[in-house]
């Protein structure tokens, strides 16, 4: 079945540590996205990529980094510079035509201890 | 800048009753509008979308939404709610080019038996 796989589902980290969240898709989509979800704030865009080896900052990119070396993969690194990293992180993908439909993974919950 | 407001954080409805979720958007051009649903701890699933044409849009699971340009609204409705409709619902607006979506804060729906 085609879809988006995020791992790990739950992750705990100590303050000062970097952590990388994995996102893999087999939908053959060109575009991929990372959103952060906090209660009552909806989803906020961290980074997005519309093509391999290219990506752009979203609204809240500070303290995060990404890479897009393969079409299928778009890992997100939460660095120690991110002040409030505890959140639910959602990866999504889409075609680059203007249909607007995002396909989401099941999310990764990061808790900083 | 585009923005989306969902005025109701929580709504409680009895099973079998009708449901209406409000969404107001701010966008400088013709918007692409979406409703997504999220079950607890899961990713988001597209319910319906509006690009142009008929302002009443039908979606999955018996949902519909009406685009009202004069009111900058895109409210979601369902005539008769089922217990399985308990979830969080997100309204989103997209740009004409590309798939960057801006999400509202979400409305959590509780269904009473």
Q: Using one digit for the tens of pLDDT, what is the confidence trace for B85-105?
A: 999 999 999 875 556 788 999
Q: Does A61 touch chain B (CB under 8 A)?
A: no
pLDDT at B98: 54
Residues A1-35 have pLDDT tens digits of 679 999 999 999 998 899 999 999 999 999 999 99
CB atoms within 10 A of CB A81: 11
3-state secondary structure chain B: CCEEECCCCEEEEECCCCEEECCEEECCCCCEEEEEEECCCCCEEEEEEECCCCCEEECHHHCEEEEEHHHCEEEEEECCCCHHHCEEEEEEEECCCCCCEEECCCEEEEEEC
Average the pLDDT over B24-39 and give the result.
Answer: 89
For residue B13, give both structure tokens. Answer: 């409805």
Q: A24-78, pLDDT tens digit by residue? A: 999 999 999 999 999 878 899 999 999 999 999 999 999 999 999 999 999 999 9
Residue pLDDT, tens place only, B38-58: 998 888 999 999 988 889 999
Q: 61-90 in B: which are within 8 Å (CB) of A?
A: 90
Is the minimum CB–CB distance between B104 and chain A shorter than 8 Å? yes
Distance from CA of B40 to the nearest CA of A (A): 10
* Residue A16 main-chain phi, psi, to 5 deg: 90, -5
Q: Among A9, A43, A90, which would you mutate to test the B interface (most chain B Cβ atoms within 10 Å of its Cβ)?
A: A43
What chain A residue is nearest to B44 in terms of C-alpha separation?
A104
Report the alpha-carbon angle A48-A51-A57, nearest 5.
25
> Which residue among B41, B98, B105 sits closest to A41, beta carbon to beta carbon?
B105
Distance CA A82, CA A6 (A): 20
Chain B CB contacts of A98 under 8 Å are 32, 51, 96-99
CA-to-CA distance for B33 and A7, rounded, in angstroms? 29
d(C-alpha B96, C-alpha A89), whole Å: 25
């Amino acid at each position: 079945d085609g879809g988006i796989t995020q791992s790990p589902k739950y992750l705990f980290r100590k303050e000062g540590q970097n952590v990388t969240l994995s996102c893999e898709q087999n939908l053959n989509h060109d575009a991929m996205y990372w959103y952060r979800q906090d209660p009552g704030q909806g989803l906020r865009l961290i980074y997005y990529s519309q093509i391999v080896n290219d990506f752009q900052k979203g609204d809240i990119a500070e303290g995060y980094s990404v890479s897009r070396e393969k079409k299928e993969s778009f890992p997100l690194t939460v660095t120690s510079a991110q002040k409030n990293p505890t959140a639910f992180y959602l990866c999504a993908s889409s075609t680059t035509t203007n249909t607007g439909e995002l396909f989401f993974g099941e999310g990764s919950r990061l808790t900083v201890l | 800048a585009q923005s989306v407001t969902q005025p109701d954080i929580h709504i409680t409805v009895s099973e079998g009753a009708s449901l209406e979720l409000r969404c107001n958007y701010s966008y400088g051009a013709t918007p692409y509008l979406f409703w997504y649903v999220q079950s607890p701890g899961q990713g988001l699933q597209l319910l319906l979308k509006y690009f142009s044409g008929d302002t009443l849009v039908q979606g999955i699971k018996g949902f519909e939404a009406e685009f009202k340009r004069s009111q900058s609204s895109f409210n979601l409705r369902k005539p008769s709610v089922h217990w399985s409709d308990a979830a969080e619902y997100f309204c989103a607006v997209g740009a004409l080019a590309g798939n960057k979506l801006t999400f509202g804060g979400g409305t959590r729906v509780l269904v009473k038996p």
